[in-house]
Amino acid sequence: MLTVGGREIACPVSLAPMAGVADSAFRQLCKEFGCGLLTSEMVSAKALTMSDRKTKDLLRRAPIETPFAIQLFGDDPEIMARAAQLVMAWKPDFIDINMGCPAPKIAGNGSGSSLMKNPPLAAAIVGAVAAAVEVPVTVKIRKGWDEHSVNAVEVALLCQEAGAAAVAVHGKTREQMYAPPVDRTVIRQVKEALSVPVIGNGEIDSPQAAAQMFAETGCDGVMVGRGALGRPWLFAQIGEYLQTGEVRTCPTPRQKMACLLRQAELAIAHKGEKRAMAEMRKHAAWYFKGGRGASKLRAKAGTLTTYQALEEMTKEALDLGCLEEN
């Protein structure tokens, strides 16, 4: 159980807000496998205030997607506050502020992880958003900008003082991007400094890694990102391991392929076949990762245009016996 801003989250394992990846179809599967908290793909506050249609499309979700946070990014407190008020029309349970995205087009414009270089502005944004909405406001930060400016504790404290109800810490610098290792020590330091819940993030790709994050940091929850790509059942495995020390959910190759097809069906229902299958190419490649002959299937996945082609590809994967056990 995780309680954020007085709101209870049954499972302390959440899905990271991965742009271009964690769409509604993928989030629904993660929820079905026991994910506690779901978050939208990151939404541009500026684009939202300009009524951009594509941006609003990121806010759509299915009834099963609850509790649900909408993540905003931007570098202007006033615009961020206005955007937070606008997204309340979609009835989120939380508003999350992105201070961790390392992508050049985000951080290069003063948003995302660039805010780690400007703690007063980071705090001002949190304060403005918290004052603008009635739901709890959370923040996702990094260890720091680089190894010469590790300031996660400072930024987290300022965010808490400004009204953040929880802080998720990705234990890597912006300079690292997504490369290992994850610094669990800095996450522990943030946990020891704050009174609000702290969520540990980084390199959680197995039930054991999740348990290690809890044990070494004392964090209140963990956030799973790329470790779940092509493996949404990881949430069930983590939940089982944390409760019993054992993993019972071990999907067969046929069950894995059924999961891939279901994700595609959910995506098609939301976006139409043409767009959905273009976006499913990378997901299919993740499902085919590892195993003998998988490289051939991943290459073919990059050409997907129809659901029928995906069905044929899953049959080929089963015939080849190339799906790894995990």
125 and 257 together in one domain? no
Is residue 157 included in any domain, yes or no? yes
Residues 42 and 156 in one domain: yes
Mean pLDDT score, 88-101:
97
Residue ending a domain, among 244, 262, 291, is 244
Residue 323 confidence class, pLDDT cut points 50, 70, 90: confident
Of 244, 272, 291, the residue that ends a domain is: 244
**Can you give the pLDDT at residue 235?**
98
Q: What CATH number did the domain enclosing 264 receive?
A: 1.10.1200.80
Q: pLDDT tens digits, residue range 21-52?
A: 999 999 999 999 999 999 999 999 999 999 88
Q: Which pLDDT does position 85 carry in this prediction?
A: 97
Collapse the DSSP code of 214 into the 3-class scheme (helix H, G, I; strand E, B; otherwise coil) and give the result. helix
Q: Is 134 exposed, middle or buried (0-12, 13-18, 19+ CB in 10 A)?
A: exposed
Contact present, 258 and 287 (Cβ < 8 Å):
no
Asked if the structure places residue 125 within a domain, the reply is yes
Considering the domain boundaries, does residue 129 fall inside one? yes
250 is catalytic: no
pLDDT score, position 5: 94
Mean pLDDT score of the chain = 95
Query: Which amino acid type is present at position 305?
Result: T
Reported confidence tier of residue 4, pLDDT bands at 50, 70, 90: very high
- Taking the C-alpha atoms of 171, 172, 177 and 179 in order, what is their torsion angle to the nearest 10 degrees? -90
pTM over 0.85: yes
- Pairing outcome for strands 7-9 and 2-4: antiparallel
Q: Who contacts 71 (Cβ-Cβ below 8 Å, separation ≥6)?
A: 17, 39, 40, 41, 42, 43, 95, 96, 97, 98, 140
Please check whether residue 326 lies inside any domain of the structure.
Answer: no
Last residue of a domain, one of 201, 227, 244: 244
Residues 49 and 165 in one domain: yes
Work out the pLDDT band at 320, boundaries 50, 70, 90: confident
202: tokens are 């980084």
**CA-atom Rg of the chain in angstroms:** 19
Q: Is residue 325 part of a domain?
A: no
For residue 154, the number of C-alpha atoms closer than 13 Å in the C-beta half-sphere is: 13
Question: What average pLDDT does the segment 106-125 reach?
Answer: 96
| Structure confidence at residue 291 (pLDDT) | 67
Residues 208 and 272 in one domain: no
Is 324's pLDDT higher than 70? no
State whether 194 and 267 are in the same domain: no
Structural domain count, the chain: 2
Instruction: Tell whether 272 and 153 lie within a shared domain.
Output: no
Which residue shows structure tokens 């660039």? 114
Q: Based on the fold, state whether residues 219 and 292 are members of the same structural domain.
A: no
262 shares a domain with 237: no
Q: Would you state the pLDDT for residue 289?
A: 82
- For residues 271 and 316, membership in a common domain is answered with yes
Q: For tokens 């290459």, what's the residue?
A: 299
- 283, part of any domain: yes
Q: What pLDDT digit, counting tens, does each position of 250-296 carry?
A: 999 999 999 999 999 999 999 999 999 999 999 999 998 876 778 88
205 and 273 part of one domain: no
What DSSP string runs through 141-193?
EEEESSTT-B-HHHHHHHHHHHT-SEEEEEEEETTTTTPSPP-HHHHHHHHHH
Is 147 in the same domain as 257? no
What's the CATH number where 94 sits?
A: 3.20.20.70
- Statement to judge: residues 298 and 229 lie in one domain: no
> Percent of the chain beyond pLDDT 70?
99
pLDDT at 45: 96
Which one of the listed residues 101, 159, 219, 322 is annotated catalytic?
Answer: 101
The domain in which residue 181 lies consists of 2-244
Quick check: 173 pLDDT over 60? Answer: yes
